Structure 1
Amino acid sequence: MLWSVEDGRDDQLVVLKYPYFDHEEPLVFDEDATYVETDVSFTHTVSHSWNHGLGAIVTGLLDAGMEITGLVEHDSVPWNALPGQMEQVPDKGGEWRLIDRPERLPHSYTLQAVKKG
């Protein structure tokens, strides 16, 4: 759900800009940085990505013969995904979550699966 929210805003969290469900055309970004802190300068800065809803991911695993052994949603992520709207939370290992009512939407999840048989 976090990937549906428009980033770069500091006024409010209400704008859903990006698709939540599977989509045919890629989202195209031209950025010279990444969510991981690094001193590296990127020479290839254009990326193409597709969002996939949780249902599509779970169904894909099941279709591949996997058995889901765990699924936990989190109200935090390991990076400042929405600058100006997130705070670092020491009791969550330094992860980041929304300043204003982080319980409104899942920020990330952990999915565990094993191959059957």
Structure 2
Amino acid sequence: MSTKKIAFPGTVEGLNGELVGHFGHTPTFLTIEYDENTKAVITVEVIQNSPHEQGGCMTPVMLLKNNGVSEVVVGGIGQRPLMGFIQVGIEPYRGIQGTIKQNFEAFKQNLLKKLSQATCQH
């Protein structure tokens, strides 16, 4: 079995929490480890984000990289962290408005678009 791990900026409500619109300001990231072939969920974990600081956009990027994340779904993201994800090998996707569970379902159905440019103007 081959597994991957995807991260979602979210709230402490887990899968039923809303996707946070600004990735750098999220209190937590919810990660889902899943089987690459069947997309079956193996584990769900919550990772505490570091406090957002001006110019500290790479901190959450490295946090996710160091936790084995291979994809991230975001509602909004600036150019610097977006390029950081691409540089460290994490595939960024544009999420939909809704819960993390709804976003994971859309991801599994290949409905989310890969990001190549920033979606946030902060």
User: Shorter-chain TM-score: what band?
Assistant: under 0.3
Greater C-alpha Rg: 1
- TM-score, length-scaled by structure 2: 0.27
- TM-score, length-scaled by structure 1: 0.28
Higher helix share: 2
